[in-house]
Amino acid sequence: MNRSIGAVLAAALLLTAAAAQADDAPPTTNPIRYTWIVTSCATWNCAAAALVMAGGDKYVITLPTGRDDRPWLILRRVEEGSIYIPPEEPFACEVFDSMDGATNHYDGMDMCHAPIVLSVPDGRAVVTSLTDCGGGGGGKRRSVR
């Protein structure tokens, strides 16, 4: 009988120790998820400054738009949830897991949105476009790889 009480006490002690170790384990966290955002620049100096500030980051890309009012776009990869896009920004981008999804979306867009489709360094594809056709639009469609 003493052996069975001893075994029960030993098992209880082991369970208590395992529970204490589980409390010391670091909490699990969600993996960081990234998305792409676009901002426009009215001058080359603005676009060049964005590239300089990126310090060679391969996830910052400058694109020409062919427009007179906003001739440059800065496309950058950022953590989801850390995004602020000014309400007056005339361009937006949509991110796709494959080029097929991006080109299907691109093909269905109205020309007045001046869309640009691009494959990006993380293996996804992005379609940038004007959010509102009232801004003049009418540029040529562009595909950049």
Record the tokens describing residue 72, joined without a space.
């440059």
Per-residue pLDDT band at 12 (split at 50, 70, 90): low
Strand ranges (E), 1-145: 34-41, 60-64, 72-79, 91-96, 116-119, 125-130, 142-144
Q: 99 with 125: CB under 8 angstroms?
A: yes
- What would the mean pLDDT of 106-114 be, rounded to a whole number? 90
Tell me the C-alpha to C-alpha distance, in Å, between residue 85 and each of 32, 119, 121. 20, 22, 22
Q: What is the mean pLDDT of residues 78-85?
A: 84
> Residue 66 burial by CB count (10 A; 0-12/13-18/19+): exposed, middle or buried?
exposed
Task: Answer with the residue of higher pLDDT: 133 or 139.
Answer: 133
- Give the separation between CA 73 and CA 41, rounded to whole angstroms: 6
| CA dist., res. 122 & res. 97, Å (int) | 10
End-to-end CA distance of the chain: 78
Reported as a single tens digit per residue, the pLDDT across 55-67 is 999 999 999 998 8
Structural domain boundaries in the chain: 34-144
Q: Decide if 127 contacts 94 (C-beta within 8 A).
A: yes
Q: What percentage of residues in the chain have a pLDDT greater than 90? A: 54
